[in-house]
Amino acid sequence: MDALHGEGGPDREIAGFWRRLGAFVIDLILLGLVGWILGALLFDTLAHMGAYAKLIGFAIALAYFGICNSRISGGQTLGKRWLGVRVVDGHDQLLSLPRSLLRYVVLGIPFFANGLPLDPKLAMSTPLGYLLALVVFGGMFAIIYLYLFNRRTRQSLHDLAVGSYVERFDRAAQPVPFPIMWRGHVVVVALLAVIALSAPAVASRFAQTQTFAGILPLYQTLSTQPHVMTAQVVRGWSSFNGGKTTHSLQSSLWLDAPLTEDGDMAKHIAQLMAKTDPDIANEDVVVVTLIYGYDMGIASGWKKHGYSFKPGELQ
């Protein structure tokens, strides 16, 4: 039920999925342009910040959505203004600035916190790991689920947190109550939270399998190398046209200096990988990708170079 009708004229109408999504996409494009300009001007500074560059992106997004979706800007970001929708509460009143800021915090934190560089042991076996799993995976799953399936009120998690709605604002409206969300969605969101909380335990079990043998100590070794801010290690395989399967040990290293063309560094990393991995004899190739750049969440820019070595070359 997307609209209610009462006597005396058309009632307030909750914004439909596509109109709301279109406004959000427009806003993301605008924020991306701001991030791209900052990245072009401050590339090295942002690259040196590593994961902390996301704090700048989050602050920009928080200020934009928080201020524009509040009564200060009539409950409308530029995207909402162009597509004729606005944010209000259940009494059709515009949100205060603190309430609007909280609304975006609930929406933004799961996405900005996703991909933070954490020690796998910390992420898998501590209360912090379970908390992050709940916030990141539980939050993202709930937000996306409610966006797609809460068709009655079109409220997602951040709307429910502050009691807000996104309504059409391109026509006359009568002050009638908004519909009430189907309670079954609460059960689904709770189940999604339980699934998210199981992620660290599942990851811990996978870490103990043969496929991931040696990955954790290898990650710890690479993470302590000079100029390496963050490391990622995976095992992979590829097969072309049903031919021989090629097994590979791959690492991606995010650097604090523009060293992506340093072949000697790449070979040194590959030698460490070959020395540390107990299953190196089963690999056909060792791949090292050196990366220098930034990720603000609203925009990113990278310079990267990949290197491949045969295990026999690394003795």
> What residues does 231 pair with on adjacent strands?
253
* % of the chain surpassing 90 pLDDT: 67
Whether the pLDDT of residue 218 is over 80: the answer is yes
Most confident of 3-7, 67-71, 177-181, 222-226: 67-71
What pLDDT is attached to residue 138? Answer: 94
Q: Using pLDDT thresholds of 50, 70 and 90, give the confidence band for residue 176.
A: low
For 135-138, the CB contacts below 8 A with 24+ separation are: 135/109, 135/110, 136/110, 136/196, 137/110, 137/195, 137/196, 137/199, 138/110, 138/192, 138/193, 138/195, 138/196, 138/197
Average pLDDT estimate for 52-66: 97
**247 contacts 283 by C-beta, under 8 angstroms:** yes
Which position has the higher pLDDT, 45 or 180?
A: 45
How distant is the alpha carbon of residue 227 from its chain centre? 25
Q: Using pLDDT thresholds of 50, 70 and 90, give the confidence band for residue 4.
A: very low
Average pLDDT estimate for 241-268: 90
Tens digit of pLDDT for each residue in 93-126?
Answer: 999 999 999 999 999 999 999 988 777 766 676 7
pTM: 0.87
Tens digit of pLDDT for each residue in 178-206?
Answer: 888 888 999 999 999 999 888 888 777 76
Query: How many Å apart are CA 191 and CA 200, to the nearest integer?
Result: 16
Domains assigned to the chain = 3-205 (no CATH), 210-314 (3.30.300)
Average pLDDT estimate for 130-141: 92
